Structure 1
Amino acid sequence: MKYKVAFVCIGNSCRSQIAEGFAKEYGNDLFEVYSAGTNPADRVKPNAVKAMEEVGIDISDQYPKLLEDIPAELDILITMGCGVECPYIPCKMREDWGLDDPVGKPIEVFRETRSTIEEKVKKLIEKVREGDI
């Protein structure tokens, strides 16, 4: 059985897309991975794509999605800390990662955000493997 996990923020153009990329890369055997935004942007930010390319993960085919585009019930819901008011989405586990949005900032900030998200995704995978959800 795979756990349905979704990463949600406002624009679904950077943080949630990076998290989706890492979760697919590291937790492919464990997760069905989704991401969405409450007010999706028109595309994934080029610096997010570039930052992920630097670590060998291609998210260039990902695109911003609406909450309606993800399953209505999830096992895990992760919000990115953007003050987003998510409508109620039934889930077994919910976390807010409290991450600042790097959009509009230099590539170095995207890299820092990428590293933070990578660690958080790895910890999430560890929690799930240990049965902590």
Structure 2
Amino acid sequence: MINPKRKILFLCMGNSCRSQMAEAIVNARYGDQWDAVSAGTKPAGYVHPYAIKALQEIGIEHKGTSKSIDQFRGIDFDLVVTVCDDAAENCPVWLGKGKRKHVGFPDPAKAQGTEDEILGVFRTIRDDMLIRLEVLLKESDHK
């Protein structure tokens, strides 16, 4: 019998940058094993254009939408991951089922400077996610 995909939810406040990038990376790179979604406690209502551009640069076409955490109440997840930066923000609390983990990233939407400098911040977060999410998923496979 084929193992069903495991479900993962990425949470942050606005669901426009970090959680969107995490959702896209997991679905693109680990979609054979994981089904990723993302949400926010205060959804921004859009996916940040630089998040989409940073993903496109590594071959990921993301067509995500900014979603409220309320859409996923009552759904059982295998893993629920907060991606906000603990020092700067209050992370959302998930009251549903699913093992909770925190993998914090600075908010690239707060980046300032030229377009290239701002996009550079999104690239840095994306590249960090590529490494840290792989580790997270491998750890989850062994528990």
TM-score under structure 1 normalisation? 0.89
Partner letter of residue 101 of structure 1?
D
Please show how residues 88-107 of structure 1 align to structure 2 within 5 Å: 88-91=95-98, 93-105=99-111, 106-107=118-119
Gaps of 5+ in 1: none
Task: Among all aligned residue pairs of Structure 1 and Structure 2, give the percentage whose two residues are the same amino acid.
Answer: 31
Between structure 1 and structure 2, the one with the greater Rg is: 2
1:67 to 66, 69, 72: 69
Q: Distance in 1 between matches of 2:138 and 2:21?
A: 18
Residue 122 of structure 2 aligns with which residue?
A: 110
Equivalent-residue separation in structure 1 for 2:138 and 2:91 (angstroms): 26
2:108 is paired with a residue of what secondary structure?
coil
- In 1, the alpha carbon distance for the partners of 2:119 and 2:35 equals 29
Q: How many residues align?
A: 129
Question: Post-superposition, which runs of at least 4 consecutive aligned residues in structure 1 deviate over 6 A?
Answer: none
Tell whether the 8 Å contact from 2:13 to 2:92 is kept in structure 1 after alignment.
Answer: no
Q: Residue 121 of structure 1 aligns to a residue in which SS?
A: helix
Q: Distance in 2 between matches of 1:126 and 1:114?
A: 18
Q: By how many angstroms is 1:86 displaced?
A: 1.6
Q: Distance in 1 between matches of 2:103 and 2:38?
A: 14
Q: Distance in 2 between matches of 1:87 and 1:62?
A: 21
Which structure 2 segments of 5+ residues have no match? 112-117
Which whole-Å deviations, capped at 9, do the CAs of 1:27-79 have from their partners, x for residues lacking one? 111112110000001210000001001111011x1110011222522110000
Are positions 1:26 and 2:38 aligned together?
no
